[in-house]
């Protein structure tokens, strides 16, 4: 069963009279319980498309459905019960963390909003959730600026998971953190995958995509130039653009 389907999606922007095609008539499916990677160079359109899937960007044309139902009604997306089903993790965790709010309070507030728990219970659930993300109770009392980049990113994942979503969309989640923090975050995503969470992973880092994804879409100039099972894409790419991207992975040899 496909949990998300996107059909004939286009996104255009007007830049001082010039029409820019960020996404150009593409289709996409996310089967339930799978991790789908979207990879491409900067400016390929992958982040814009991720925002379409999350409901943050209204497409110029085309449609997105969640479990067969359109996510958009008028200019609104993911209304009512659908609101918590798809959550997004951004490259910059400050996009989802209030710099003036302690981490535990930010997560607890989201838990109260999405789960309807009282203040005391939501705080306990938040502390437990943050601890499962590798953030101690002591660090949970800190403001975002007092945490490392990796801790902030894991806190933003915790806040997204507070909604108990069916789908997590992660846009370049490892690009702003060091290698040690990347390893911790990838381990966290791996645990979430084992628990059955459906994930859309957007990255220019094919090493990350290869490690986590079941299926991969390769994006260039707003279109998918190639897509297939992860093993097939990495071992037997068809397009020169894909071969170029894969050749940048240290130690990877195309079979």
What is the per-residue pLDDT across 90-110, written as a single tens digit (0 to 9) for each? 887 766 688 899 999 999 999
Classify 70 as helix, strand or coil: strand
Q: Rounded to 5, what percent of the chain is helix, strand, coil?
A: 40, 30, 30
Residue-wise pLDDT for 184-193, tens only, equals 888 888 998 9
Q: What is the pLDDT of residue 252?
A: 56
Question: Under DSSP, is residue 50 helix (H, G, I), strand (E, B) or coil?
Answer: helix
Query: Is 60 exceeded by the pLDDT of residue 253?
Result: no
What is the average per-residue pLDDT within 103-121? Answer: 92
* DSSP secondary structure letter of residue 224: E
Predicted local distance difference test score (pLDDT) of residue 229? 96
Question: H/E/C letters for each residue in 4-42?
Answer: EEEEEEEEEEEECCEEEEEEEEEEEEEECCCEEEEECCC
The reported pTM is 0.90
Q: Are the CB atoms for 34 and 27 separated by under 8 Å? A: no
Task: Calculate what percentage of the chain has a pLDDT beyond 70.
Answer: 96
Of 160, 188, 40, whose CA–CA distance to 90 is shortest? 160
Within 10 angstroms of residue 113's Cβ, the number of other Cβ atoms is 14
DSSP label at 55?
T
Angle, vertex CA 44, rays to CA 43 and CA 48, nearest 5: 80
Secondary element (H or E) of residue 53: helix 46-54
Contacts for 78 with CB less than 8 Å, ≥ 6 apart: 55, 66, 71, 85, 86
């Amino acid at each position: 069963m496909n949990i998300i389907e996107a059909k004939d999606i286009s996104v255009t922007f007007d830049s001082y009279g010039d029409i820019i095609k960020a996404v150009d008539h593409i289709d996409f499916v996310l089967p339930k319980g799978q991790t789908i990677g979207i990879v491409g160079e900067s400016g390929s359109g992958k982040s814009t498309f991720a925002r379409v899937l999350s409901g943050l960007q209204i497409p110029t044309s085309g449609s997105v459905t969640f479990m067969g139902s359109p996510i958009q009604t008028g200019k609104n997306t993911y209304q009512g019960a659908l609101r918590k089903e798809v959550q997004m993790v951004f490259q910059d965790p400050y996009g989802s963390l209030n710099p003036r709010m302690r981490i535990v309070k930010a997560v607890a507030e989201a838990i109260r909003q999405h789960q309807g728990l009282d203040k005391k219970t939501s705080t306990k659930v938040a502390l437990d959730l943050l601890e499962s993300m590798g953030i101690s109770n002591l660090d949970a009392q800190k403001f975002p600026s007092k945490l490392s980049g990796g801790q902030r990113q894991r806190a933003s994942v915790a806040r997204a998971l507070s909604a108990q979503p069916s789908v997590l969309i992660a846009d370049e989640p490892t690009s702003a953190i060091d290698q040690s923090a990347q390893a911790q975050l990838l381990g966290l995503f791996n645990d979430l995958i084992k628990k059955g969470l459906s994930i859309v992973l957007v990255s220019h880092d094919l090493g990350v995509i290869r490690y986590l994804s079941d299926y991969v879409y390769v994006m260039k100039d707003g279109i998918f130039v190639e897509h297939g099972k992860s093993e097939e894409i990495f071992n037997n790419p068809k397009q020169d653009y894909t071969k170029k991207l894969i050749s940048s992975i240290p130690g990877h040899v195309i079979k």
